[in-house]
Amino acid sequence: MTSDFDEISSVHSLTIQKISLNKSALVTADVVATEKPLEIVLVWREAEKWQQKSLSVTMRTPGHDEELALGFLFSEGLLLNRSEVQNVRVSPLINKVYVEVFPIVAERSERLQRHFYTTSSCGVCGKASLEAVQQKTRYAIPGETPILSQETLYQLPQTLRKAQATFDQTGGLHASGLFDVQGNLQVLREDVGRHNALDKIIGYSLNTNDLPLSHNILLLSGRISFELVQKAVMAGIPFIAAIGAPSSLAVSLAREHNLTLIGFLRDSHANVYCGAERLA
C-alpha cells in the first residue's frame, strides 16, 4: 500500500462556547470527530489500457482507509479474497482510495444492483431491492462454535470502552470490536459510520488472511442494523453482541444464517434474540 500522506487526523480541533444555566458562557477549546467523504475507485488493466470506475462515496472518519475499501468490496461480494487485489493506493489529501484489481472484479461490479452512495448513518441506503442486499456468502456459519460464557460476555463492553481512544476525546464515534472466545480484544475500529467501523475490521482480516472469522465475537457499540448482520454473515462471524437494539430485519437475517444475536448488553444483562446455544 502506498500513500500520499502519512496520517490524516481522526479528530478536528475548534473553539466553542460552553453554556450553563445562570452562568456566563465559557470560551474553550474542544475536539470533534472528523467526518470526510471517501471515494472508492476500482482500477484494472484491460486490452492494454488502464480502466477505472468510481464505486462508492462514503462519509467516514479518516484512518484505516485501505481496510475500509477492502472490507467494503468484500462485504459487497466484489472481492473473494486478498489475492484478487494487486495494489491499494490511498490518497487522503483528495479523499480517494484506488484499488487495483484483476478484470474479473470489475466484471462482478457490473452485476451488482446498487446505487453506490452511502452515508455515515445508513450504509444500506440506495439498495435497489432487498434481494440485492442479501449477497451470497462464501462461508457457512458453524453451528457449534463459538461457546462463550455469560461471565465473559458481560465483560466485553467494558473492554471495548477502555480501548476507544478517539471516543474518549470526542464522544462521537461508533466502534466495532472483534474478540476471541476468551474475551480478548483482537482488533478495534472506530468511525462516524457504524458500517464503516465493521468494514475496517473485515478489511483488516482480509489483509491478514484471517477470514472466515468463524471463532470470533463481534461487539457493536450501538444498534444492530440489517446491513451490519449482512456484513458479519459475509465474513463468517457467528456471534454478534451490541450495546443497543437490533432491528426486525437484523433478527430475521441472523436467524436465517444461524447467528447468535444479542442486544442491550449492559450491566450484566442482555437480550438473546437467537442462537442461545452458543452461550455456555
- Measured distance CA(185)–CA(218) in Å, rounded: 10
Q: Which helix (H) or strand (E) holds 226?
A: helix 226-234
Residue 246 backbone class (left: φ over 0; alpha: ψ -120 to 50; beta: rest): beta
Instruction: Enumerate residues 6+ apart whose C-beta is below 8 A from 232.
Output: 198, 218, 240, 259
Distance of CA 30 to the CA centre of its chain: 27
For residue 18, the surrounding DSSP H or E stretch is strand 11-18
Q: If you write DSSP's letter for every residue of 174-192 in order, what string do you get?
A: EEEEEE-TT--EEEEEEES
Q: How many other CB atoms sit within 10 Å of the CB of residue 63?
A: 18
> Which among 122, 132, 147, 276 is annotated as catalytic?
122
For the question of residue 122 being annotated catalytic, the response is yes
User: Which residues are known to be catalytic?
Assistant: 122
